[in-house]
Amino acid sequence: MDQNVVLTITFVAGFLSIMGVGLVISFLNNPVDRNISKIRDLSEEQQGKKSSYIKKEKSKNILYSVGKKFAPKDLDKISSTRKWLIKAGLYDNYHYYIYWGVKILLFIFLPTLLYAYLNFMNMPISQNVRWFVVSIMIPLFVVDFFILLKIKGRQEKIFCGLPDVLDLLVICIESGLGFQSAINKVCDEIHLTNKVLYTELKITVNSMRLSMSKETALHQLGERTGVQDLKSLAAVIIQSEKFGTRLADALRVHSEDLRVRRRQRAEEMAQKTTVKLLFPLILFIMPCIFVVVAGPAILGLIKVFG
């Protein structure tokens, strides 16, 4: 193959790979979504203009177009993938198509870039089959890995902020507010400190406003986030109303239980710190101390016996 052709392919593949990585990062924290979340109380005309603008932006997105064209059409596959993306806070179909667009483009560009590199270095392709396998497997796992990190981060924020939210909810209920009004008041208080819980509680309240039963909305809250504590909270609220006990007392007991678990988890992580510090201590700190302490003696011995 001509060297100029190889250089051209390498440059194009490298440029597209860099662009793909940048789009992956923007996919995890989309600036359009951040700007939309900051805009509130739009009039109907403004909302219409905003929706048309979003549609134009989506049509210009290469990842969205590729994902929409080649994404799986099987309903079971769509449902399972959507549920998994919702746990990461990616709710709409736009993120579903972006997810598959990133995977497909990486699946194309990484083997192409590797092929161009091997041709440029005059390396036999038959002896580097394992690298082709790696370049094919990376797109299948790297995007899922980033989504999994995002899910873990959201679940951690929910676990850490849930006891405080329950305390606020108890105060609102004891002051005479209804359940939906109490959740709205809590959302107004936590929208700056814990945006993950704020978003999930707002979705739950809006679902109940749209004639969805409280049991179904709370059950979906637990399933949507994948946090066992929220599933337990839904069970506590449902059973409290079913058996006629005071909701404030039940929430207070559940909040205390969550706070004890959070403290026990912090103590467990503190106990693991000594074991985790053992490996960097042996690999990095001890050799430096050995060089400082025994280095002059070794140099003296070399000088004497040299």
Rg (CA), the chain: 27
Percent of the chain with pLDDT over 90: 1
Quote the DSSP letter at residue 128: G
CA distance 269 to 271: 5
Q: Which residue has the tokens 């106990």?
A: 271
CA distance 184 to 144: 34
74 φ, ψ (degrees, to nearest 5): -70, 130
Q: Say whether both 73 and 170 belong to one domain.
A: no
CA distance 90 to 27: 10
User: Does residue 226 lie within any of the structural domains?
Assistant: yes
Q: pLDDT (tens digit, 9 = 90+) per residue, 210-247?
A: 888 888 888 888 888 888 888 888 888 888 888 877 88
User: Does residue 144 lie within any of the structural domains?
Assistant: no
Asked if 46 and 138 count as a contact pair (C-beta separation under 8 A), the reply is no
Q: Say whether both 188 and 98 belong to one domain.
A: no
Residue 42 has pLDDT above 80, yes or no: no
Percent of the chain with pLDDT over 70: 77
User: Does residue 151 lie within any of the structural domains?
Assistant: no
Q: Say whether both 119 and 168 belong to one domain.
A: no
Q: pLDDT (tens digit, 9 = 90+) per residue, 258-304?
A: 889 889 888 988 888 888 888 888 888 888 888 888 888 888 888 88
What sign has the CA pseudo-torsion 264, 268, 269, 273?
A: positive
Largest separation between any pair of C-alpha atoms in the chain:
91
Q: Residue 192 corresponds to which tokens in the numbers above?
A: 């700056």
The residue count for the chain = 306
What per-residue string of b and e applies to 55-92 under the rule 16 or more CB within 10 Å gives b?
Answer: eeebeebebbebbbeebeeeeeeeeebbebbbbbbbee
Q: Which residue has the tokens 């709370």?
A: 218
Residue 24 has pLDDT above 80, yes or no: no
Q: What pLDDT, on the 0 to 100 scale, is given for residue 234?
A: 85
Asked if 230 and 92 count as a contact pair (C-beta separation under 8 A), the reply is no
Q: Say whether both 163 and 118 belong to one domain.
A: no
Give the residue numbers spanning the domain of 110: 3-123
Q: What pLDDT, on the 0 to 100 scale, is given for residue 125?
A: 63
- 179: nearest Cα among 159, 158, 208: 208
User: Does residue 55 lie within any of the structural domains?
Assistant: yes
Residue 40 has pLDDT above 80, yes or no: no
**To the nearest whole number, what is the mean pLDDT of the chain?**
77
CA distance 29 to 36: 12
Q: pLDDT (tens digit, 9 = 90+) per residue, 73-82?
A: 888 888 888 8
User: Does residue 204 lie within any of the structural domains?
Assistant: yes
Answering whether pTM is above 0.75, one says: no
User: Does residue 294 lie within any of the structural domains?
Assistant: no
User: Does residue 300 lie within any of the structural domains?
Assistant: no
Write down which residue in 225, 243, 262 finishes a domain: 262
The count of other CB atoms within 10 Å of the CB of residue 290 is 11
Q: What pLDDT, on the 0 to 100 scale, is given for residue 32?
A: 45
Number of domains in the chain: 2
